[in-house]
Amino acid sequence: MDSETIAYFSMEIALEEGIPSYSGGLGVLAGDMLRSAADLKLPIAAVTLLYRKGYFYQKLNSQGIQSERPVEWVVPDFLEELPHRIEVSVEGRKIQVRAWQYNITSKEGYSIPAYLLDTDLPENSTWDRTLTHFLYGGDQYYRFCQEIVLGIGGVRMLRALGYDQIRRFHMNEGHASLLTLELLDEEALRANKKQFTHEEVEIVKKKCIFTTHTPVVAGHDKFPREMVEKVLQRKEIFDMKEVFCCEGILNTTYLALNLSHYINGVAKRHGEISRLMFAKYSIDSITNGVHAATWVSQAFQELYDRHIPGWREDNFSLRSALSIPNSEIWNAHFKQKKLFIEYVNRETNEGFDCNILTLGFARRSATYKRGGLLFHDILKLKELVSKAGPIQVIYAGKAHPQDQPGKDVIKYIFQIKEQLKESIKIVYLENYDIDMAKKMTSGVDIWLNTPQTPMEASGTSGMKAALNGIPMLSIPDGWWVEGCIEGITGWTFGKTPINGTTTDASDANDLYNKLENVVIPTFYDRDRFINIMRHCISLNGSFFNTQRMIQQYVTKAYFR
Ligand SMILES: *Cc1c(COP(=O)(O)O)cnc(C)c1O
C-alpha cells in the first residue's frame, strides 16, 4: 500500500468497551490517539495482540481482596478474521499467526485498521496457542515470546497484508521494539548481506519512532541474554553493541532508543526525567491527551453542541467555554453527577448523596499512585471535614494479578471505609474499565491524583475530567505540571523538587491544608467553583486532547 502509511505498534490498545485489549492508561492513550488520527484522516495502521482472555475481570470480596477471572468475550462479534497467515520462530519452532481486523472509524466514516495478532490456531501446540491469551500475564519467557509475536510477527503480518512501503514505525513503549530486528533483517536481505551492519542500522533508524511512557523501573522489560539467544536461536545480534547493548540482558527500552531517530516522553516533565534516565539520547516530549468526543459526557456534549458547534472537529474551539453561563454548566454537571451517584447507590447500596462534595480516584492500583494517601492521618481528615464541610469518596482500579502491594492498597481502602463510615462515605467500585472511567470522570466533583513524583509520566484521567468541567487536585507531576493554574484549573499540593521526592506525611499534610482551606470552601461556594469548571474546559479541555497531540506527532515525527 502507499508509502505514506505509519505503522503504530502497541502491546495494548483500548478499541472499545467490549474488547479487553488494554490494562490502563497506555492502552487508552493508544486508542484515543488512533480515534483522533481517524478524525483527521491520517494514514495509520495499528498492530497489537488479540488477548482472548483479556487482561482480567476483577472481583473484590467484602474485605477488598482481589481475585481475577479471564474475560469472556466473543471475538467474531467484534473483529473480522483475515485469511493471511505468517509465522514466527520460537526456539526453532514455527508458530503460525493470524490477524483479526478492527476498524477505528471516525464520525465522517474514515477508518484506521487495527490488526490483532492471534496464535490460537489448531496448527500450533497447546502452549503456543496461549501466547495471545493474556495481556501482561505469565512469566518473563511468555512475555518475551509475546513480544516476538508483536514485533517480528507484526512486521511480517503488515507485509503479508500488502504494506510494503511503510513510512514510519512507531513503537508505543518498548514492548514492540523487536520489530527493529525484523527491519534490520529485511535491510540485510535487501543488501544481500548475511548479517546486518552499521549501514542497515542507519537505514532502520530513519524509519523508527519511540515513545517512552514511564520512569517506573518495572515498566522497562529486561530479558536475560541466554533466554534471548535460546528463543531467537541467534547469538550474533549481541555482537552489535550499538544496538543490543547492556551486560548480559536485552533491555527493550534501549533497543528502541538505539534504533529510533525520534524519541519522546509523554509530558514536558517526563521528557526532563527521561533525559536524566537516558542521558546519551536526544529525547523530546509530546504531552498526552484524550479523545474529546469519547470522554465528554452526554450532558456536556449537548451543552457544547449548543454553545460551541464544531467542537468535535476543532477541539481548540473549546476555549470559548469561557462564555457559557454558570447555570448551564452546573446543570449539565449535576445531571451527570446524579446519574453516576444513582448508579453507585444501586450497585453498592451505600446511600451516596448528590449534594455532597464527591472526590473521585480511579486508576491502576500501582503503589506509586498512592491510593491510600488521603487517609494518611484519618483523625486529621475527620477533623477537617467536620470544620470545612462534608466529602464522600469513590474509588476504582485494578491491581496487576502479581502485584501484592498494589492489591494491599485496595484492601487498605476497604479497611478505612469501615473505620470512617460514620463521617466520610467511601466506596470502591469493581472492575474499572473505560465504561466505568467515563461514568467516574464525568460524575464526581473533583478528581484526586496522588502519585509519588516523578513516577507519573503523564496521567490522562484528569484530562477526561477536565473535558467534563471537573477540576483536579493533584501532586505536581506528569501533565499536571503544565495543566495546573492554581485556583483557576484546579489545585496542586505537595511541593516537589525535580528529581527529588517528598514523604507521604508531608504530601498528606499539604493535601489536608488545601482541602480544608481552599478546595472544600470553594466547592460549597457554588459560583466560585463553577468558574473553575469553566476554566478546566477552556484551558485544559481545549489543549490536553489527542487531536492536538497527534498533530504534534505528525509534524515532529511522522512527516518530517
Ligand atoms: C484513562 C484511564 C486510565 C489512565 O488513568 P491515569 O489516571 O492516567 O492513570 C486507566 N484505566 C482506564 C480504564 C482509563 O480509562
Residues 337 and 441 placed together within one structural domain of the fold: yes
Same domain, 508 and 554: no
Q: Is the pLDDT at 28 greater than 60, yes or no?
A: yes
- Rounded Cα–Cα distance for residues 294 and 301 (Å): 10
Q: Is residue 52 part of a domain?
A: yes
Sign, CA dihedral 280-281-286-291, equals negative
- Closest atom of ligand 1 to 436 CA is 13
Residues 38 and 108 reside in one and the same domain: yes
Do 196 and 297 lie in one domain? The reply is no
Q: Which of 363, 450, 452, 470 to mutate to test the pocket of ligand 1 (most atoms within 8 A of CB)?
A: 363
Decide if 532 is inside a domain: yes
Sign of CA dihedral 258, 260, 266, 268: positive
Q: How far apart are CA 232 and CA 147, in angstroms?
A: 12
pLDDT digits (tens, 9 = 90+) for 495-549: 765 555 679 999 999 999 999 999 999 999 999 999 999 999 999 999 999 999 9
User: Residue with C-alpha cell 533483517?
Assistant: 185
User: Do 300 and 368 belong to one domain?
Assistant: yes
Give the position, in ligand 1's atom list, of the atom nearest the Cα of 459: 8
Position 217 scores a pLDDT of 82
The number of folded domains in the chain is 2
Atom of ligand 1 minimally distant from the CA of 460: 8
What is the rounded CA–CA span in Å between residue 286 and residue 36? Answer: 15
Average pLDDT for 167-178:
98
Q: Which of 460, 470, 472, 480 to mutate to test the pocket of ligand 1 (most atoms within 8 A of CB)?
A: 460
Look at residue 218 in the predicted model and tell me its pLDDT: 80
Q: What is the pLDDT of residue 500?
A: 59
Domain of residue 459, residue span: 292-544
> Which position has the higher pLDDT, 242 or 440?
440
CA dist 452 and 196 (Å) reads: 43
Between the CA of 363 and the centroid of ligand 1 the distance, in Å, is 5
Q: Which atom of ligand 1 is nearest to the CA of 369?
A: 9
CATH number of the CATH domain containing 334: 3.40.50.2000
- pLDDT of residue 397 exceeding 90, the answer is yes
Q: Is residue 353 a part of any domain in this protein?
A: yes
> Which protein residues touch ligand 1 with a CB less than 6 Å away?
24-25, 28, 363-364, 432-434, 437, 459-461, 464
Residue 251, in any domain of the structure? no
pLDDT at 157 over 80: yes
pLDDT digits (tens, 9 = 90+) for 246-287: 778 999 999 999 999 999 999 999 999 999 999 999 999 999
Does 23 reside within a domain?
Answer: yes
Whether residues 383 and 503 share a domain: the answer is yes
Residue 322: inside a domain, yes or no?
A: yes
Max Cα distance, the chain (Å): 77
Going through 150-271 in order, the beta strands assigned E by DSSP cover 168-172, 208-211, 222-224, 249-251, 262-265
Task: Summarize the confidence of residues 290-309 as an average pLDDT.
Answer: 98
Is the domain of 418 the same as that of 516?
Answer: yes
Mean pLDDT confidence for 119-137: 97
3-state secondary structure of 407: helix
Tell whether the model's pLDDT for residue 207 goes beyond 60: yes
- In this structure, the number of other CB atoms found within 10 A of the CB of residue 97 comes to 29
Band of residue 240 on the pLDDT scale cut at 50, 70, 90: confident
Residue 237 pLDDT grade (very low, low, confident, very high; cuts 50, 70, 90): confident
378 falls within a domain: yes
Instruction: Place 131 in a pLDDT band, splitting at 50, 70 and 90.
Output: very high
- Same domain? For 269 and 297 the reply is no
Q: Please determine, for residue 472, whether its predicted confidence score (pLDDT) is greater than 80.
A: yes
pLDDT given for residue 187 in this prediction: 98
Q: Which atom of ligand 1 is nearest to the CA of 438?
A: 15
pLDDT the model gives residue 244: 84
Check whether residue 185 and residue 204 sit in a common domain.
yes
| pLDDT tens track for 320-362 | 999 999 999 999 999 999 999 999 999 999 999 999 999 999 9
- CA of 510 from ligand 1 middle (Å) equals 25
> Torsion over CA of 372, 441, 452 and 371, rounded to 10 degrees?
10
Q: Which of 247, 19, 51 is nearest to 142 (CA)?
A: 51
What percent of the chain is helix, strand and coil (3-state, nearest 5)?
45, 20, 35
pLDDT value of residue 286: 98
Residue nearest to atom 1 of ligand 1 (CA): 461
Q: What is the pLDDT of residue 236?
A: 84
- Classified as helix, coil or strand, 251 is strand
Distant-in-sequence, close-in-space partners of 480: CB < 8 Å, separation ≥ 6: 449, 459, 462, 472, 474, 490, 492
Residues 177 and 305 in one domain: no
Q: Is the domain of 145 the same as that of 30?
A: yes
Residues 69 and 211 in one domain: yes
Which residue has cell 506525611? 505
Tell how far the Cα of 16 is from the centroid of ligand 1, in angstroms.
14
- Mutation test residue for ligand 1: of 13, 17, 19, 28, the one with most atoms within 8 Å of CB: 28
- Mean pLDDT, rounded, of the chain: 96
Domain annotation covers residue 246? no
Ligand 1 center–CA 430 separation, angstroms: 15
> Could you tell me how many helices (H) and strands (E) the chain has, helices first?
22, 19
